[in-house]
Amino acid sequence: MPIQLSVGPRVRKSPFFEAAIRDGLQAASVYNHMYMPTSYGDPVAEYERLIHGVAMWDVGVERQVALKGPDSLALARLLTGRNLDGLTIGQGKYAPLCDFHGRLINDPVLLQVADDEIWLSIADYDIALWAAGIAGAYALDVEVIEPDVSPLAVQGPKAEAVLVELFGHWISDLKYFGFQKTMLGSIPVIVARSGWSKQGGYEIYLMDSRFGTALWEQVKEAGRAYQIGPGAPNYIERVESGLISYGADTDDKSNPFELGLDRFIDLEQSSDFIGKDALLKIRDHGVNRRFKGILMDGPKLTGTNEHRWQISQQGRDVGYVSAAAFSPRLDSNIAVGMVSVEAMQTEARFDVHCEDCVRSGIAVDLPLI
Ligand code: THG
The structural domain count of the chain equals: 3
Indicate the DSSP class of residue 272. Answer: -
296 part of a folded domain: yes
- CA–centroid distance, 139 to ligand 1, in Å, is 30
Q: Both 115 and 182 in a single domain?
A: no
> When comparing pLDDT for 333 and 306, which is higher?
333
CA distances from 81 to 104, 133, 245, 290, 350 (A): 11, 18, 19, 19, 34
Q: Both 37 and 136 in a single domain?
A: no
User: Which among 146, 206, 243 is the best mutation to test ligand 1's pocket, defined by most ligand atoms within 8 Å of the CB?
Assistant: 243
Domain stops at, among 145, 161, 195: 145
Distance CA 41, CA 246 (A): 24
Instruction: Domain of residue 68: give its range.
Output: 64-145
Taking 90 as the threshold, does the pLDDT of residue 341 lie above it? yes
Domain stops at, among 175, 205, 238: 238
User: What's the distance, Cα to Cα, between the start and end of the chain in Å?
Assistant: 31
- CA–centroid distance, 359 to ligand 1, in Å, is 30
Q: What does the pLDDT read at residue 255?
A: 98
Predicted confidence (pLDDT) per residue in 144-185, tens digit: 999 999 999 999 999 999 999 999 999 999 999 999 999 999
Helix, coil or strand: residue 315: coil
Distance CA 352, CA 311 (A): 5
Q: What is the CATH number of the domain that holds 131?
A: 3.30.70.1400
User: What is the average pLDDT across 22-37?
Assistant: 97
- CA–centroid distance, 90 to ligand 1, in Å, is 16
Helix (H) or strand (E) holding 236: helix 235-241
Which residues lie with the beta carbon below 6 Å from any ligand 1 atom?
62, 94, 107-109, 121-123, 151, 194-196, 203, 243-244
CB 170 within 8 A of CB 217: no
Quickly state the pLDDT bin for 1 (edges 50, 70, 90).
low
CB 114 within 8 A of CB 59: no
Domain stops at, among 145, 175, 207: 145
Nearest partner of 63 among 119, 101, 25, judged by Cα: 119
- CA–centroid distance, 109 to ligand 1, in Å, is 6
Distance CA 81, CA 58 (A): 29
For residue 324, the Cα-to-chain-centroid distance in whole angstroms is: 17
Quickly state the pLDDT bin for 79 (edges 50, 70, 90).
very high
Q: What does the pLDDT read at residue 3?
A: 81
> Dihedrals φ, ψ of 317, to 5°?
-75, 120
Quickly state the pLDDT bin for 303 (edges 50, 70, 90).
confident
Predicted confidence (pLDDT) per residue in 104-118, tens digit: 999 999 999 999 999
Predicted confidence (pLDDT) per residue in 203-243, tens digit: 999 999 999 999 999 999 999 999 999 999 999 999 999 99
Q: What does the pLDDT read at residue 201?
A: 98
167 part of a folded domain: yes
User: What is the average pLDDT across 122-139?
Assistant: 98
Q: Both 115 and 34 in a single domain?
A: no
Total number of residues shown for the chain:
369
Distance CA 234, CA 49 (A): 10
> From atom 2 of ligand 1, which residue's Cα is the shortest distance away?
121
263 part of a folded domain: no
User: Which among 112, 113, 121 is the best mutation to test ligand 1's pocket, defined by most ligand atoms within 8 Å of the CB?
Assistant: 121
Q: Both 50 and 158 in a single domain?
A: yes
Predicted confidence (pLDDT) per residue in 241-297, tens digit: 999 999 999 999 999 999 999 999 999 999 999 999 999 999 999 999 999 999 999
Quickly state the pLDDT bin for 346 (edges 50, 70, 90).
confident
User: What is the average pLDDT across 125-132?
Assistant: 98
pTM over 0.85: yes
CB 334 within 8 A of CB 368: yes
Q: What does the pLDDT read at residue 5?
A: 82
CB atoms within 10 A of CB 198: 16
Distance CA 249, CA 245 (A): 6
User: What is the average pLDDT across 68-76?
Assistant: 98
Q: Both 183 and 305 in a single domain?
A: no
249 part of a folded domain: no
Ligand 1 atom with the smallest distance to the CA of 246 is: 12
> From atom 24 of ligand 1, which residue's Cα is the shortest distance away?
243
For residue 278, the Cα-to-chain-centroid distance in whole angstroms is: 25
> From atom 5 of ligand 1, which residue's Cα is the shortest distance away?
196
Q: Both 171 and 115 in a single domain?
A: no
